[in-house]
């Protein structure tokens, strides 16, 4: 009986693909889930497995052909190889499973392979961690898609991989696993595998040679997205040239000092933090206004109810929930602090997605508490505790760090007395909290000791005027010095 092999679902809004490569030819025996061919769309590369065991009888869509969803690719005669598995016990070992780069998040197209937990020849179970990828924002652990033996590592530690690229192969010939690392360089020049037809066409149109393109396809095959990436890099290179002189050149270091230095490559997260902070300074008309708040009432309220709060809600009552609620209260009165600039438009957010800056061993991240303006004190404290723990463990997803409308940064936990926080673009405001310190204050004509905290609001002067910034900070101060104002919505 003949079984049809058809084009699988290609993804949302994708209706057609190009047949890049056939891994089998008519007459070849195939097992269930053997890779038959590779399809290439505008966004990803899709491998088509065999739905049944048998013999590949006919290829209907040749390499280079354009096919639509559910179109007929080939036909397989079932039963022709019924005895093949019995005769050839190594057949299951020949089956391979590709380990691919997972979805990295919105606007993230590449990652760096930071660590391999397994080496070729190691036995792995399904969902066991194989390696860790590092993106601009988070670290992503890649689990094994199937149980078996890690046969080949295609992307070594330190290499850059594209979203949807192949990292390794589970199954197959383990002895060849070590070959790709030393042989990866010459493979680009002397390859026996045919590149994707669309890639060759695009290289010809762009005037690129194969040596100008980094291949990420199976068996070092150049795919269409590889050529597109090479074109982007080639286009960006001349634009980057004028910026180069702005980078200071490190002065020569005496030999005695150089021997005692340690040079460590910046992580992608650290590079992104550095770039975004500098971009924020260069783009926004950033200004900081300061005030101070008497924390007496908040501290008294917290001390009075912290035990009951913990008993009822199962989470400690901290200061962050007070500041979060106070900021949401102030943002309603001064909405421009909760806005952003989009071209020539100002986008006002009628909701508050509060970013809470958190320091981690790898750098600063800002998880977002969505709709913080509609949450209770307990819900805010639980969200902060949960996201803080995930941030420290490097488990935050991209979605958890996107979409913030305003940010709170608490440098006081490190002992900072005063600082000027830098905006988190495209946001227009960020509140800096600091250390609580007893200071003498003049209250009703008398000098008394009060627990005081300096507050700093950095804002984008392009959209927020001085009056609005000062009003916002005063409203936060008033709410914290008299928390009853929050209940009365004053």
Q: Among all residues, which ones are annotated catalytic?
A: 461, 465
What letters, b where the CB count within 10 A reaches 16 and e where it falls short, cover 452-485?
bbbbbbbbbeebbeeebbbebbebbbbbbeebee
Enter the DSSP assignment of 420. -
- Say if CB 312 and CB 382 are below 8 A apart: no
Q: How far apart are CA 173 and CA 191, in angstroms?
A: 19
Q: Which of 480, 476, 379, 377 is nearest to 429 (CA)?
A: 476
In the structure encoding, which two tokens stand for residue 241, read together?
Answer: 């040239």
Q: H or E stretch including 93? A: helix 91-94
CA 178, 263, 238 angle in degrees (round to 5)? 80
Where does 136-220 show beta strands of DSSP type E? 139-143, 148-153, 160-162, 166-171
Q: H or E stretch including 453? A: strand 446-460
Where does 7-117 show beta strands of DSSP type E? 16-22, 29-30, 35-40, 45-49, 54-59, 66-68, 72-78, 96-100, 110-116
Read off φ and ψ for residue 185, nearest 5 degrees. -70, -55
In the structure encoding, which two tokens stand for residue 106, read together?
Answer: 């919105």
Q: Which of 393, 403, 336 is nearest to 369 (CA)?
A: 403
Q: How far apart are CA 196 and CA 221, in angstroms?
A: 7
334 Cβ contact list (under 8 Å, min separation 6) = 464, 468, 469, 471, 472, 475
> How long is the chain?
490
Enter the DSSP assignment of 237. H
Please identify which residue in the block is written with the tokens 């291949």: 215
Where does 325-445 show beta strands of DSSP type E? 339-342, 345-348, 354-356, 358-360, 363-365, 368-369, 406-410, 429-433, 437-443
Q: What share of the chain is helix, strand, coil (3-state, %, to 5)?
A: 35, 30, 40
CA distances for 122 relative to 102, 143, 167, angstroms: 22, 14, 15
DSSP string, 310-354: HHHHSS---SHHHHHHHHHHHHHH-GGGGEEEETTEEEE-SS--E
């Amino acid at each position: 009986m003949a079984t049809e092999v058809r084009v699988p679902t290609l993804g949302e809004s994708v209706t057609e693909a190009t047949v890049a490569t056939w891994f089998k030819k008519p007459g070849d025996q195939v097992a269930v889930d053997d890779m038959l061919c590779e399809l290439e769309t505008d966004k990803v590369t899709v491998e088509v497995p065999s739905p049944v065991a048998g013999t590949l009888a006919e290829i209907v869509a040749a390499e280079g052909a354009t096919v639509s969803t559910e179109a007929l690719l080939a036909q397989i005669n079932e039963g022709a190889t019924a005895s093949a598995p019995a005769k050839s016990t190594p057949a299951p070992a020949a089956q391979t499973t590709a380990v691919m780069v997972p979805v990295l998040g919105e606007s993230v197209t590449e990652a760096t392979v930071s660590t391999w937990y397994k080496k070729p020849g190691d036995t792995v179970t399904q969902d066991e961690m194989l390696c860790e990828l590092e993106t601009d924002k988070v670290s992503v652990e890649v689990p094994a898609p199937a149980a078996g033996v890690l046969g080949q590592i295609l992307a070594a530690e330190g290499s850059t991989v594209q979203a949807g690229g192949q990292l390794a192969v589970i199954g197959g010939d383990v002895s060849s696993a070590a070959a790709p690392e030393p042989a990866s360089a010459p493979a680009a020049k002397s390859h026996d595998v045919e590149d994707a037809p669309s890639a060759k066409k695009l290289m010809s149109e762009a005037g690129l040679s194969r040596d100008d393109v980094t291949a990420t396809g199976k068996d070092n095959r150049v795919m269409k997205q590889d050529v597109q990436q090479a074109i982007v890099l080639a286009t960006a290179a001349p634009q980057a040239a004028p910026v180069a002189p702005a980078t200071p050149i490190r002065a020569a270091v005496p030999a005695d000092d150089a021997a005692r230095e340690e040079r460590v490559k910046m992580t992608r997260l650290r590079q992104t933090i550095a770039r975004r902070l500098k971009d924020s300074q260069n783009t926004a008309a950033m200004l900081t206004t300061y005030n101070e708040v008497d924390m007496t009432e908040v501290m008294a309220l917290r001390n009075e109810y912290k035990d009951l709060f913990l008993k009822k809600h199962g989470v400690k009552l901290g200061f962050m929930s007070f500041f979060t609620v106070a900021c949401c209260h102030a943002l309603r009165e001064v909405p421009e602090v909760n806005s952003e600039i989009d071209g020539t438009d100002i986008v006002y957010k009628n909701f508050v997605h509060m970013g809470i800056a958190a320091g981690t061993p790898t750098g600063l991240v800002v998880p977002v508490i969505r709709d913080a303006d509609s949450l209770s004190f307990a819900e805010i404290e639980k969200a902060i505790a949960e996201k803080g723990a995930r941030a420290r463990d490097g488990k935050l997803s991209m979605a958890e760090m996107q979409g913030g409308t305003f940010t709170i940064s608490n440098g006081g936990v490190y002992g900072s007395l005063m600082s000027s926080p830098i905006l988190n673009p495209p946001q227009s405001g960020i509140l800096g909290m600091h250390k609580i310190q007893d200071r003498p204050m003049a209250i009703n004509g008398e000098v008394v000791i009060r627990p005081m905290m300096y507050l700093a609001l950095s804002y984008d002067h392009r959209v927020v005027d001085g009056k609005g910034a000062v009003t916002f900070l005063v409203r936060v101060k008033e709410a914290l010095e008299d928390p009853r104002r929050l209940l009365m919505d004053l």
